[in-house]
Amino acid sequence: MTASSRHGLFISVEGGDGAGKTTQLGLLRDWLSGPGSPLRYPPVFTREPGGTQLGAAVRETLLHSEHVDPRAEALLYAGDRAHHVATVVRPALERGEVVITDRYLDSSIAYQGSRGELSPTDIEEISLWATQGLMPDITVLLDISAADARARRLAGRGETEDRIEAAGDDFHESVRQVFRERAAAEPHRWRVIDASRSVEEVFSALKLVFTTEIEKWAERP
């Protein structure tokens, strides 16, 4: 497989705060950059918010300021996404690379859409405008209940939660339900993994998803 002979593969990884996304993405990065990787070239690993210099500033502002007006918040995430897609994601896909992003548009719909202040359809439309319609080929959901996720966050990090992490279980459970509903509505794009299991079990499920999708991509004409 050559990296430049076809359009790249775009995969997003989603999940609530405390689903274990950071741990799993670290394992994925080691595997896909190491000798056991099914890829010839390491993938591009990136994240939202924060995959660019602008994104890092947006991340700092959004996660650590006290209150941001909901419309301003939605536009800032969409602005970060527009710049991220234009400068990192799309160029890499055009070079034929595999791009793995820690969160994408579904996070905006799940998080900004779960407070009841904004319409999920508006949020989706703003993001689609921002990205000129770019959607992931595959979205992996690390699915976990709000209560299990909170227990993990507290065990892992003690007191230091950011503004969003500190929102209550009801909010985090609605975020989860939005992800699950979107996964059920678009099964060709989503792969749902039960993230309440051990790190090893979740990672072996994740490896299976990535191996299968990379093989399918490699066979595309």
Residues that bind ligand TYD (CB under 6 A): 17, 21-22, 47-49, 63, 77, 102-103, 107-108, 111-112, 162, 164-165
- Whichever of 1 and 164 has its CB closer to ligand TYD, that residue is 164
CB atoms within 10 A of CB 52: 19
Q: How far is the CB of 2 from ligand TYD (least distance, A)?
A: 32
- Whichever of 162 and 169 has its CB closer to ligand TYD, that residue is 162
Q: How far is the CB of 41 from ligand TYD (least distance, A)?
A: 25
| Inter-residue contact 16 to 144 (CB < 8 Å) | yes
Token output for 144: 């976990």
Q: What is the spatial distance between Cα 190 and Cα 201, in angstroms, rounded to a whole number? A: 19
- Whichever of 8 and 49 has its CB closer to ligand TYD, that residue is 49
Q: What is the spatial distance between Cα 164 and Cα 115, in angstroms, rounded to a whole number? A: 11
- Whichever of 162 and 186 has its CB closer to ligand TYD, that residue is 162
Q: How far is the CB of 93 from ligand TYD (least distance, A)?
A: 19
Ramachandran quadrant class, 48 (left: phi over 0; alpha: psi -120 to 50; beta: rest): beta
- Whichever of 107 and 131 has its CB closer to ligand TYD, that residue is 107
By beta carbon distance, the residue nearest ligand TYD is 111
Q: How far is the CB of 73 from ligand TYD (least distance, A)?
A: 8
- Whichever of 48 and 137 has its CB closer to ligand TYD, that residue is 48
CB atoms within 10 A of CB 121: 10
Q: Which helix (H) or strand (E) element contains residue 170?
A: helix 169-185
Q: Residue type at 134?
A: L
Strand partners, 10: 99
Q: How far is the CB of 125 from ligand TYD (least distance, A)?
A: 14
Q: How far is the CB of 81 from ligand TYD (least distance, A)?
A: 7
Q: Starting from the edge strand earliest in sequence, which strands make up the sheet with 190-194, in order?
A: 44-47, 98-102, 9-15, 138-143, 190-194
